[in-house]
Chain A
Amino acid sequence: AQSVTQLGSHVSVSEGALVLLRCNYSSSVPPYLFWYVQYPNQGLQLLLKYTSAATLVKGINGFEAEFKKSETSFHLTKPSAHMSDAAEYFCAVSDLDTGFQKLVFGTGTRLLVSP
């Protein structure tokens, strides 16, 4: 079965600094990978997805992620953090073993941005 591990339940950065949120996956087949963002008291919004095309995936709000098969990683980055980026971020993998698109989520990383 597929799984994802997010390292760091909290990440703190200063406004303007690089954002790096880590995600490692475990999958027996080529995975589909996703990053979602959740703002307070809201649902999840898709930031970007990897579907076996380009390994560098660009998403909304200036975020991007790179799929590295050799490292089984899909880390999320943004060159310059904004205060509005403060939210919780979830990495997820599609559970293809069972033949449908159930998402298996990581435990989430809360991004804190200080002025």
Chain B
Amino acid sequence: GAGVSQSPSNKVTEKGKDVELRCDPISGHTALYWYRQSLGQGLEFLIYFQGNSAPDKSGLPSDRFSAERTGGSVSTLTIQRTQQEDSAVYLCASSAPGQGVYEQYFGPGTRLTVT
């Protein structure tokens, strides 16, 4: 079956511009996660959506970062006024709590480069 997909695969943007990163989770997965992978920080949790509950945004590094999930499916991570330190690979994952015991399935990531 189809896995988690992310778009674009690569994004180059100028400092100060806004970017949107998209994630399509596995169909039927109610939980969706965003992580950031960067050289200096490793893999960091950003935000978590579970069904219709309020998302847990505790990992977002600043108020320039936001995310939404429409219709319990597709999610968009938005970074406003991008900075060079935002350059990283942004990974999305989904899971179906209650099945597979918290196993998360990851997409291929979006590589963001801020120039």
A interface residues (Cβ-Cβ under 8 A, vs B) = 32, 34, 36, 41-46, 49, 51, 90, 94-95, 98, 100-108
Contact = CB atoms under 8 A, between A and B. Distances in A.
A90 B104 contact: no
20 contacts: A32-B102, A36-B106, A42-B109, A43-B4, A43-B91, A44-B91, A44-B93, A46-B105, A90-B43, A98-B56, A98-B58, A100-B50, A101-B95, A101-B97, A103-B33, A103-B35, A103-B43, A105-B43, A107-B42, A108-B43
Contacts, number: 55
Most buried by B among A34, A90, A102, A107: A102
B58 to A, nearest CB: 8
Interface of B: 4, 31, 33, 35, 42-43, 45, 48, 50, 56, 58-59, 91, 93, 95, 97, 101-109
B99 to A, nearest CB: 12
Contacts of B35: 103
A43 B33 contact: no
A100 B48 contact: yes
Most buried by A among B33, B43, B48, B95: B43
